[in-house]
Amino acid sequence: MKRFAIGLVVGKFAPLHRGHESVIRAAIEACDHVVILSYSRPEFPGCEPERRATWLATLFPTTTRIVLDHAGTPLPANDDPADIHRAFCASVLREKTNSPVDAIFTSEDYGPGFAADLARRQGSPAEHVAVDLGRVQVPVSGTELRRDIHGLRHFLSPEVYAGFVKRVALVGGESTGKSTLAAALAEHFGTTYVAEYGRELWEELDGVLKYDDLLKIAREQIRREETALRDPATHRFVFCDSTPLTTLFYSHEMFGRADPELEQLAARTYDHTFLCAADFPFVQDGTRRGESFREIGQEWYLLNHPKGRIGILRGNVEERVCYASSLLTPQILRREMAP
């Protein structure tokens, strides 16, 4: 038997950090069931309701999660008086749950008053349970994290930090330096990159790819991107040596058609996309089709890039890294990163 039947945790979770997680885990350990209520007005960039709902569902799937959007439910403003928020929470709980709350878990000084008010409104006792009230175990706040989400990323679970990592795609025809540049950019920014799975499979199969292999390549490339987003070594960016758009190009070139799912995957968007220019002599490594095919690829990427602008990187590796960095990094951060 656990100490309480139903526990409640309320927060903006903007973003959801390890301090919030410790409160929720304490509630789970002490309660038969936990209700998590999250709302914010205004919303904070990168912490929208859909994203908060995903974080909570991923990390705490056994809980009841109520994540509210001002468009669907009129919300009190974050700076409204405590009485307004207490009345609002009690109203939501009456509407969304069938049982009274036995305990409220917080790491805040307002916890006892909140619990006493809820007990009065629901007509049954509600105890306050304080968890790391002095924030000794997790010395951070949402406000601090929003100011420096990347510098303080160790206070975030990988599933949460992944939402703040930018995916940068590199596309281009054969022998345009994508693989070399992906590794160079990752080293420059102190982060990770995703190698081209299609090349790996091509070598594994001795250069003989079947039609169905192309969809397999796109799926695996995306899976590896998603894994890289959650890699502890990832910081700010993940550089992608290939994308499903590349796989779609080869499907049409090799087979004259593409699986409908591959067509959909090829529309996958990235935070930034760069086309590596064909501005140096073609290098034949024994696997490539030739310089004319490289030009066909370059035109295809320019015509079929699914959304927004595509930056073009020219010159040697150092010049490409410099130009990409100028586009990816705000001026203030460039000064901080300068040697």
Backbone angles phi, psi at 231, to 5 degrees: -70, 130
CATH superfamily to which 4-146 belongs: HUPs (3.40.50.620)
pLDDT at 134 over 80: yes
What residues does each domain of the chain span?
4-146, 165-337
Taking the C-alpha atoms of residue 109 and residue 23, their distance in angstroms, rounded to an integer, is 14
Residue 149 makes CB contacts below 8 A (sequence gap 6+) with 15, 46, 156, 161, 164
Residues 89, 35 contacting (CB under 8 angstroms): no
* Percentage of the chain lying above the pLDDT 70 cut: 94
The pTM of the full predicted model, rounded to 2 decimals, is 0.89
Q: What tens digit of pLDDT does each residue of 271-318 get?
A: 999 999 988 866 666 566 657 788 888 888 888 887 667 899 999 999
Q: Each residue of 79-99: pLDDT tens digit?
A: 999 999 999 999 999 999 989
Question: What's the CATH superfamily of 165-337?
Answer: P-loop containing nucleotide triphosphate hydrolases (3.40.50.300)
The confidence band for 337, taking pLDDT boundaries of 50, 70 and 90, is very low
Q: Do domains 4-146 and 165-337 have the same CATH topology?
A: yes
Residue pair 144/138 in contact (Cβ under 8 Å)? The answer is no
> Cis ω on the peptide bond leading into residue 49 (within 30° of 0)?
no
Contact present, 17 and 107 (Cβ < 8 Å): no
Strand order from edge to edge, sheet including 103-106: 64-67, 31-38, 4-11, 103-106, 127-130
pLDDT tens column, 173-217? 888 889 999 999 999 999 999 999 998 999 899 889 999 999 999
One-letter amino acid of 89: C
pLDDT tens-digit map of 36-84: 999 999 999 999 999 999 999 999 999 999 999 988 889 999 999 999 9
Integer Cα distance of 117 and 123 in angstroms: 10
Residue 339's pLDDT band, with cuts at 50, 70 and 90, is very low
Distance of alpha carbon 156 from alpha carbon 50, whole angstroms: 18
The CA distance from 65 to 48, in Å, is 15
